[in-house]
Homo-oligomer: A and B are copies of this chain.
Amino acid sequence: MQSSLMLRDIVIGMSDGLTVPFALAAGLSGVVDNSDIIVIAGIAEIAAGSIAMGLGGYLAGKTEQDHYKSELKREFEEVERVPEREKQEVREFFEQIGLSKEIQEKATEEIAMDKKQWVNFMMKYELGLDEPDAGRATKSALNIGLSYIVGGIIPLLPYFFISSSTEALKLSLVATLICLFVFGYFKSKVTGVHPFWGAVKVTSIGALAAGAAFAVASLF
């Protein structure tokens, strides 16, 4: 579970990291001869993107935790204050999954015998909320941010060493499309999609984004 969440973070960060800085560099290569300016733009984009994604992930995680806590507090209060209405909600859950009136009644009474169990039930099945892991938000931010940086460095590397941007672009294209394919292959394996076709799709998005950036930048 822990490692699958980490894998998900890496996938989120790396798929955008491999795609956006790559496409930006490709787009600029169409209009700027000098690799230096592309390296600077690429690095600025990686800094901005990794912070936006990493901190965005952190905030989303924190918001989820706060939301869970405030709902938990509210449910505990409601179970005290309006137990009949809360029981009715439990009954409705059992009705909606297809149980008979008799079993609805008995099951509801059993759930309501223990307040903690009752509240947990309401949180999970009335509100559809799972308890978020307290340390997740920070870890998630770091995983997503670092994966974005790692992914973003790959397409930029050729521009560090080759001063002609059109020459660097060729190497960047080959290296990044290979990385996108390999990355898409493993990502698909993890998410249970057909690995080859999943890899083709991920690679296509990267190529399309780069093509669009190139076309749009050349137009202006």
Give the CA-CA distance A48 to B176 in the complex, in Å.
15
* Contact-residue size bin, chain A (C-beta under 8 Å from the other chain): 35 or more
Contact between chains at B15 and A40 (CB < 8 Å): no
Give the CA-CA distance A217 to B202 in the complex, in Å.
29
Contact between chains at B44 and A23 (CB < 8 Å): yes
- The answer, yes or no, to whether A157 is at the interface (CB within 8 Å) is no
Question: Chain A interface mostly helix, strand, loop or mixed?
Answer: helix
Question: Assuming A47-B212, A107-B107, A213-B47, is B40 touching A52 (CB within 8 A)?
Answer: no
Name A's B-contacting residues (CB within 8 A).
Answer: 15-16, 19-20, 22-24, 27-28, 31-32, 37, 39-41, 43-49, 51-53, 55-56, 59, 63, 66-67, 70, 94, 97-100, 103, 106-107, 110-111, 113-114, 117, 121, 125, 191-193, 201-202, 205-206, 208-210, 212-217, 220
